[in-house]
Amino acid sequence: MTHGVPFVVAELGRDADPFMLHFYAALAQQQRALISARTKAALAVKKAQGVKLGNPLYREALKMAHAANRAAADRHAANVVPIIREITAAGITTLQGIAKALNARGIHTARGGGWYAQTVANILVRAGQGARGLSSPRFDAVGRRHRSRGERSLEAPPPADGVFRHYPSNPAGPLPKDRQPQDE
Could you tell me the end-to-end alpha-carbon distance of the chain, in angstroms, rounded to an integer? Answer: 71
pLDDT top residue among 33 and 7 = 33
Q: What is the pLDDT of residues 8-63, one digit of tens each?
A: 778 877 777 888 888 988 999 999 999 999 999 999 999 999 998 888 899 999 99
Q: What is the pLDDT of residues 80-137, one digit of tens each?
A: 999 999 999 998 888 999 999 999 999 999 899 999 999 998 998 888 766 555 544 4
Q: 84 burial class (0-12, 13-18, 19+ CB within 10 angstroms)?
A: buried
Using 50, 70 and 90 to split pLDDT, how confident is the model at 161? low
